[in-house]
Amino acid sequence: MAVNPGSLASHQRWAEKNRFGFPICADEGKHVARAYGVLNALGFIARTVVLVDRNGIVRWVQPGMPATETILAAVDALGEQA
């Protein structure tokens, strides 16, 4: 799932254009970003990848745009712990 502060309409256009195979959540009030602690001092959202398990527990947090291989390695490591 992707979460972004843009409007629902902008997300729908973006998802259709890029043919994403996952849901995109509009966080216009930045409530999700605030809950995950990813707002910077100016109130902007810092791009962050968060892996949450099936029980809703945050298992991995990586600020920025980690390489796909890094994310997949984290997913694999979490799978081995389950």
| Share above pLDDT 70 across residues of the chain, in percent, rounded to a whole number | 96
- Cα separation, 65 vs 46, whole angstroms: 10
What is the residue-averaged pLDDT of the chain?
89
In a 10 Å sphere around its CB, with 0-12 CB exposed, 13-18 middle and 19+ buried, how is residue 52 labelled?
Answer: middle
pLDDT of amino acid 23: 84
- Cα separation, 59 vs 78, whole angstroms: 8
| Structural domain boundaries enclosing 57 | 2-81
Total domains, the chain: 1
pTM of the model: 0.74
pLDDT of amino acid 82: 54
Q: What is the CATH number of the domain that holds 26?
A: 3.40.30.10
Per-residue model confidence as pLDDT tens digits over 65-76: 999 999 999 999
